[in-house]
Chain A
Amino acid sequence: MNHSYQLNYLEQLEAESIHIFREVAGQFEKPALLFSGGKDSITLVHLARKAFAPGKIPFPLVHIDTGHNFPEALNFRDNLVAELDATLVVRKVEDTIRQRHLTEPKGKFPSRNWLQTYTLLDTIEEFGFDCCIGGARRDEEKARAKERIFSVRDEFGQWNPKLQRPELWSIYNGRIHKGENVRVFPISNWTELDIWNYIRKENIPLPSIYFAHERQVIEHEGQLVAISDYVQPDETDVVLTKKVRYRTVGDMTCTAAVESQAATLEEVINEIVATRISERGETRIDDKVTEAAMEDRKKNGYF
Chain B
Amino acid sequence: MDLLRFITAGSVDDGKSTLIGRLLYDSKNILIDQLEALEKSTKNRTDGSVDLALLTDGLRAEREQGITIDVAYRYFSTPKRKFIIADAPGHVQYTRNMITGASNASLIIILIDARQGVVEQTRRHSIIASLLRIKHVVVAVNKMDLVDFSQDVFNNIVIDYNHVAERLGLKNITYIPMSALDGDNIVDKSARIPWFSGKPLLEYLEEVQIDQDVNLTDPRFQVQVVIRPQTEALHDYRGYAGKVISGVYKKGDKVTVLPQGIQTSITSVETGGEEVAEVFAPQSAVLQLADDIDISRGDTIVKTDNQPRVNNELEVLLCWMDDKPLISGNKYLLQHNSRLVRAMIRQVDYKIDVNTLEHQPVEGQVKLNEVVKAVIKTAVPVVYDPYDVFSEYGSAILVDETSNSTVAAVLIQN
Contacts and interface: CB of A to CB of B under 8 A. Distances in A.
Interface string B393-412: 00111010000111001000
A291 B404 contact: no
A15 B211 contact: no
B31 A276 contact: yes
A173 B278 CA distance: 30
Interface residues of A, number: 63
A171 B273 contact: no
B14 interface: no
Contact of A22 (B72, B73, B242): B242
Nearest to B83: A9
Contacts of B123: none
A13 B337 contact: no
A5 B335 contact: no
A188 B228 contact: no
Interface stretch (A53-61, A109-117, A125-133, A257-265): A53-61
B404 A175 contact: yes
Interface stretch (A97-105, A138-146, A209-217, A234-242): A138-146
Given A9-B82, A173-B335, A295 B227 contact: no
A193 B29 CA distance: 11
Contact of A171 (B71, B237, B337, B404): B337
Question: Interface size class for chain B?
Answer: 35 or more
B234 A281 contact: no
A15 B229 contact: no
Contacts of B284: 14-15, 18-19, 22, 51
B60 A173 contact: no
B2 A146 contact: no
B224 A12 contact: no
Nearest to A175: B404
A152 B399 CA distance: 14
Contacts of A165: 405-406
Given A54-B227, A146-B71, A276-B31, A169 B103 contact: yes
A121 interface: no
Contact of B72 (A145, A169, A193): A145
A281 B405 contact: no
A211 B169 CA distance: 55
A246 B412 CA distance: 50
Contacts of A146: 58-59, 70-73
A204 to B, nearest CB: 12
B395 A168 contact: yes
Contact of B37 (A5, A6, A194, A291): A291
B404 A161 contact: no
Given A19-B243, A143-B59, A277-B31, A54 B70 contact: no
Contact of A6 (B103, B211, B395): B211
B406 A22 contact: no
A275 B31 CA distance: 8
Contacts of B277: 1
A1 B193 CA distance: 47
Nearest to B84: A189
Contact of A139 (B1, B75, B229, B395): B75
Contacts of B406: 165-168, 173
B6 interface: no
A138 B228 contact: no
A4 interface: yes
A160 to B, nearest CB: 11
A1 B276 CA distance: 14
Contacts of B180: none
Given A189-B84, A291-B40, A15 B280 contact: no
Given A23-B338, A26-B225, A168-B409, A278 B211 contact: no
Most buried by A among B33, B36, B37: B33
A274 B34 CA distance: 16
Nearest to B87: A145
Contacts of B342: none
Contact of A55 (B228, B274, B321): B228
B74 A170 contact: no
A22 B97 CA distance: 26
B77 interface: yes
Given A52-B227, A56-B229, A146-B72, 19 more contacts: A9-B77, A12-B3, A12-B282, A22-B284, A53-B270, A54-B234, A55-B229, A138-B73, A139-B75, A142-B59, A170-B243, A171-B335, A171-B337, A171-B395, A171-B396, A189-B75, A191-B75, A281-B33, A295-B60
Interface of A: 1, 4-9, 11-16, 18-19, 22-23, 25-26, 49-56, 138-139, 142-143, 145-146, 152, 161-162, 164-171, 173, 175-177, 188-189, 191, 193-194, 275-278, 280-282, 291-292, 295
